[in-house]
Amino acid sequence: MSSVAIERALAVRCRALTKTYGAGVNAVQALRGIDLDVLQGEMSLLVGPSGCGKTTLISLIAGILDRSGGECEVLGQDLARLGDRERAAWRGRNVGFVFQALNLVPTLTAAENVAIPLMILGARYDAALLRAGAMLERVGLGGRERSLPGSLSGGQQQRIAIARALVHEPRLVVCDEPTSALDHETGHKVMELLREVAAREDRALIVVTHDARIFSFADRIAHMDDGHVDRIETPTRS
């Protein structure tokens, strides 16, 4: 770890984290004791083969799955201590999501899609749309507020998803394969955008990816295999 990283606060701290799906003979152990630290102000990549537990790990970190054992503190909060409603509210305030399948609502405009996290937090429709418009401007989609996702390109849809993940100023952003459906150039632009718009001293970015082309964007890379973190590397960025 670099000395700069050591000075930064911990966004995520996992120790001996386990997750088992099912029970008895049908039990499947997805995570077998994960130790992982994610620092604020950094972009961390979770990489590894399919089925190695990357998605389960970010689901636990983002508070949408319950752990089976171990410890996991996210932004200073042990999520296991929160009830369902409290945890949903915590996610709403603190986590931004960029899903692999984007999960944009096709019948809503770009601005309305981006405004959803704000309205979940209680913002009024018009005010939320105003902020969403500003966020779309920041990701380079100014003037496309009223466009439906279906009328936009894959890269533009990805930008909407990124705007939606950031519009409510979350302290943790979780991205699942953000470049998997994009060509090299668009994927590169998306990662640049993430680094440019999302990176902040008090914000941590966790990106799950297979895409080795984007490893150079990471501050640290956690290599996973069979429910473990095998090694963590801190690449030197060019």
Partner 1 sequence: MIRIALRMLIGDRMKYIGLVAGLAFAALLITQQGSIFAGYTLRSGSWIRDTAQADLWIMDPQVSFTEDRKAMLDSSLLRVRGIEGIEWAVPMYKAYVQCRLQDGTRVIVRLVGIDDATLTGGPPLMLEGTLDALKQDRGVLVDGIDVDDGLRLDHASDAEGPRALRVGDRLDINEHETVVVGIYGRTTEFFWDPVIYTTYSRALRMAPPERKQLTFVLAKVKRGFDAQEVAARITASTGLRADTSDQFEQRSMDYILSKTGILVNFGITIGLGFVIGVLISGQLLYNFILENQRAFAAMKAMGADNWMLLRMVFAQVLLAAFVGFGIGVGVAAASGAVFEGTKLAFMMAWQVPVFGGLAILVCSLLAALISIQRVLRLEPAIVFKG
Measured from the CB of residue 59, what is the shortest distance to partner 1 in angstroms?
A: 5
List of residues contacting partner 1 (CB under 8 A): 55, 58-59, 62, 64-65, 84-85, 88-93, 95, 97, 99-101, 103-108, 112, 115-117, 119-121, 125, 176-177
Measured from the CB of residue 229, what is the shortest distance to partner 1 in angstroms?
A: 18
**Based on CB atoms, which residue is closest to partner 1, 8 or 164?**
164
| Spatial CA neighbour of 79 closest among 142, 3, 21, 14 | 14
Q: Using CA atoms, how far apart are residues 192 and 91, in angstroms rounded to an integer?
A: 25
Measured from the CB of residue 85, what is the shortest distance to partner 1 in angstroms?
A: 5
- In residues, how long is the chain? 238
Measured from the CB of residue 109, what is the shortest distance to partner 1 in angstroms?
A: 8
**Based on CB atoms, which residue is closest to partner 1, 2 or 103?**
103
- Residue 132 neighbours by CB distance under 10 Å: 28
**Based on CB atoms, which residue is closest to partner 1, 64 or 130?**
64
**Based on CB atoms, which residue is closest to partner 1, 175 or 229?**
175
* β pairing state of 228-233 and 220-225: antiparallel
**Based on CB atoms, which residue is closest to partner 1, 91 or 220?**
91
Measured from the CB of residue 1, what is the shortest distance to partner 1 in angstroms?
A: 28
* Residue corresponding to tokens 């003979």: 25
| Spatial CA neighbour of 87 closest among 98, 99, 75 | 75
Kindly state the tokens that stand for 160.
Answer: 């909407």
Q: Using CA atoms, how far apart are residues 157 and 145, in angstroms rounded to an integer?
A: 12
Q: What region does 36 belong to: left with phi over 0, alpha with psi -120 to 50, or beta? A: beta
